[in-house]
Chain A
């Protein structure tokens, strides 16, 4: 019980720490953007100062050993919903990018020592500068719905047992309106008892509820 409370506290603290700068430092900028957007586009929502993505690897008793590592290579895109939908229907997946997608961020990270809970999560921020392409797409969101999607390859390595769990071609995606109220977009990963890597964009993750990942349901924007 004590351990559970401790881990909850650590998780809460980390999230608070991650959220704090976004709500204080960017406060002015965000207020300005809100006014701008209301005046110019008559939007009924706030364009966030940044898009934030949390990557988290769930604990696993066999893999959480010193020396083990978690590697992830990702590419984040934004794309018109129609183009995305059409491309997906054609089955081209991530191999061929011939739609209207724009690369937002490309990167990778490696975390070692998975026994340490803090080493199993990271947040990446993508700024939404006023006048930038991302800001424009937000502004026209009613006319042209947008999808943010990610191409992802993950590897988890257990050095002690020399086991590598690798998964690629993963493609979590979100409706851009999901970011309107500045929540964290989550990519939660876990390893199944059969050592298969699985992922989800909701918390608790889909395998806990026996669902497949997909678009996060979006409620009607606030008026």
Chain B
């Protein structure tokens, strides 16, 4: 069976380059009602007779081969590793070669190249991301190969240590970063394997991501979590290098998901994980003996750290010691109070070396007092904060300053309290700005309603938003309606379908003939994705138009699947206050939905993309979708 598949693939490889385009032409001529001369051709006829899955695999092979010639090394590495993942069972040797080639391609990329991470906090280098993909494919199919890559990283780590570890929350080395990424990717399916990977990362020290792995293990397998933790404590006692290592363990024990550190400006920075679930007990509460052991190690470390004046940067060293001690203070009071006093004496001396920190935005006095008192109800701080801002605005005599103050107060309201936001926005003196803020507040509330499944409420709010905001809401609502799964009755299903089509029709009307901007292009993709579940022929036609526009666009990110930014307001944390929509507006989303039933048309459309990397990524998405569909059917 495998031999016959291989032969079929070989045959396809021979005929594919010419067949692919002509094959697409065949489909077009069929759609347009012209005589189908090409389909009569022998080779093409044979091609059409082959099973869909075989053709999809042949497409993956040709795409991977094309990718190896691309100048965009990151895209090539990504396609090669994805193709290897898809075809591993068919031809492991070839896939191993592709993975190795992908790894070599990433070798030539510098760590900082294209890094869009938070400057100074945590790097997010495309090189690191590419390698994570390659390593996870290797780990899944060939652990020896994954080890080989990790060994290469170990050698590289020595060379790139200072160059790449610039962020406050970066992992210790590229190797530890990849090991912990791998651990996170397998923690659900294989906690023991994840624990082993995390333990291996300790060779380079205790990295920031270790707390994420520990917390994931804590949820899944506490025995494995304790094993890694014990190894980390041994490492801390034997080879402490940096206060940030202790902050990672302190975070795990006492403040899960929140890690303190000292920033590059001697300021205190805090990383908060939005993915950490609140457990009933913290690890320290569940394991007080381990917490005490950690604190005993930390007391020894804090008392033996070199005096700030003996280091190259005394204020920085002083800030690190003080911040670390403060992170541990509550832990000491609860689990090892007898060990705290000597640390307090040390702190009194170290504080003399602290520099003046940079100013921060800060909180109003009333809120700080309330927080210190500990008597705070849910949402009370938000209410107090907005009231404080409103009072400040009312006192302001300068018209411009007053306008800014009301703007800030309106945007500081929570999405759920739309009425409060609108009442503050109504006090903004400038018409255009006031209208924009009101529209934004309604848009934000509508997105929150959509996220919670309250589609009709969201659509009602959409009427008060700006035109492009309304289009985003209409399209997302249509997508949500079609995603909601099988309806109880045929009538309900038909009703939902009609409703979704109406919404999309409204969205198209609102967009009109405007095809120019990147924003509109992304919105049209959203319409295609929604249509793909409702009317595949229409979706394919729209996709063709979108692809033509993509070809004309100055730049287009084929990996971005989020809706465009349509707020018009920048800063005041405007964008981050919106619920995140992570899919439904990407080119690959459209192919994912269309490929299983419209395979040939999808290839035809993808083949029209001018940029090779975009085309390749879409072709591979088509393959992935077909193979996934086949697995589901099995």
CB distance from A137 to the nearest CB of B (A): 19
Q: How far is the CB of A166 from chain B (nearest CB, A)?
A: 5
Return chain B residues, CB-CB under 8 Å to A144. none
State which of A71, A94, A107, A197 has its C-beta within 8 Å of the C-beta of B571. Answer: A197
Number of interface residues of A (CB under 8 A): 38
Q: Which of A10-18, A83-91, A128-136 is near enough to bind chain B?
A: A83-91
Q: Cβ of A153 and Cβ of B401 under 8 Å apart?
A: yes
Question: Would you call A31 an interface residue if the criterion is a C-beta within 8 Å of the partner chain's C-beta atoms?
Answer: no
Cα A171 to Cα B363 with chains together (Å): 15
Known: A91-B368, A107-B398. A164 touches B358 (CB 8 A): no
* In the complex, chain B residues whose CB is within 8 Å of the CB of A153: 401, 404, 408
**A166-B404 CB under 8 A given contacts A91-B368, A195-B570:** yes
Q: Is A32 an interface residue (CB 8 A)?
A: no
Q: Are A73 and B398 in contact (CB under 8 A)?
A: yes
- Whether A73 contacts B400 by the Cβ 8 Å rule is yes
In the complex, what residue of chain A is closest to B120 when comparing beta carbons? A212
Contact B363 A108 (CB under 8 A): no
Q: Is the CB of B570 within 8 A of A89?
A: no
Contacting residues of chain B (410-434) with chain A, CB-CB under 8 angstroms: 432-433
B148 on interface, CB distance cutoff 8 Å: no
Tell me if A165 is interfacial: C-beta within 8 Å of chain B: yes
Chain B, 357-386, CB within 8 A of any chain A CB: 357-365, 368
A214 touches B398 (CB 8 A): no
Task: Look across to chain A and name the residue whose beta carbon is closest to the beta carbon of B265.
Answer: A212
A95-B388, A107-B398, A153-B404 given as contacts; is B361 within 8 A of A169 (CB)?
Answer: yes
Inter-chain contact A164/B433, CB cutoff 8 Å: yes
Which residue of A89, A161, A167, A196 contacts B356 across the interface (Cβ within 8 Å)? Answer: A89
Which residues on A sit within 8 Å (CB–CB) of B364? 95-96
Check B569–A164 contact: CB distance below 8 A: yes
Q: CA separation between A96 and B19, bound complex, in Å?
A: 73
Task: Point out the residues of chain B lying under 8 angstroms from A159, CB to CB.
Answer: 432
Say yes or no for B568: interface residue by CB 8 A criterion: yes
Q: Is B132 an interface residue (CB 8 A)?
A: no
On chain A, the residues within 8 Å of B568 by CB distance are 161-164
* CB of A93 within 8 Å of the partner chain: yes
A85 partner residues in chain B, CB cutoff 8 A: 356
Q: Is the CB of A162 within 8 A of B436?
A: yes
Task: Please report which residues of chain B, range 547-576, place their CB below 8 angstroms from some CB of chain A when the two chains form the complex.
Answer: 568-572
Residue of A nearest to B411 (CB): A166
- Given the complex, which residues of B lie within 8 Å of A195, measured CB to CB? 570
Q: Across the two chains, which residue of chain A brings its CB closest to B263? A: A212
In the complex the two chains form, is A93's CB within 8 Å of B359's CB? yes
B407 within 8 A of A: yes
Interface residue? A112 (CB, 8 A): no
Name B402's closest neighbour in chain A (CB-CB): A73
A23 within 8 A of B: no
> B119 — which chain A residues lie within 8 A by C-beta?
210
Known A108-B400, A108-B401, A166-B407; judge A88-B570 contact (CB<8 A). Answer: no
Instruction: Pick from B119, B265, B404, B568 the residue with the most CB of A within 10 Å.
Output: B404
12 cross-chain CB contacts under 8 A: A88-B356, A88-B357, A92-B368, A94-B362, A95-B388, A157-B433, A164-B433, A164-B570, A166-B407, A166-B570, A168-B404, A210-B119
18 other contacts beyond A85-B356, A93-B359, A173-B359, with CB at 8 A cut-off?
A73-B400, A73-B401, A73-B404, A88-B357, A91-B360, A91-B363, A91-B368, A95-B362, A95-B365, A95-B388, A96-B362, A107-B398, A155-B404, A163-B570, A164-B433, A168-B404, A212-B358, A214-B358
**Interfacial residues, chain A to chain B (CB-CB below 8 A):** 71, 73, 85, 88-89, 91-96, 98, 106-108, 110, 149, 153, 155, 157, 159, 161-169, 171, 173, 195-197, 210, 212, 214
Residues of chain B touching chain A, judged by Cβ–Cβ distance below 8 Å, are 119, 265, 356-365, 368, 388, 392, 398-401, 404, 407-408, 432-433, 436, 466, 568-572
Nearest first, the 9 A-B pairs at minimum CB distance are A93-B362, A108-B400, A73-B401, A165-B570, A169-B361, A153-B404, A85-B356, A96-B365, A195-B570
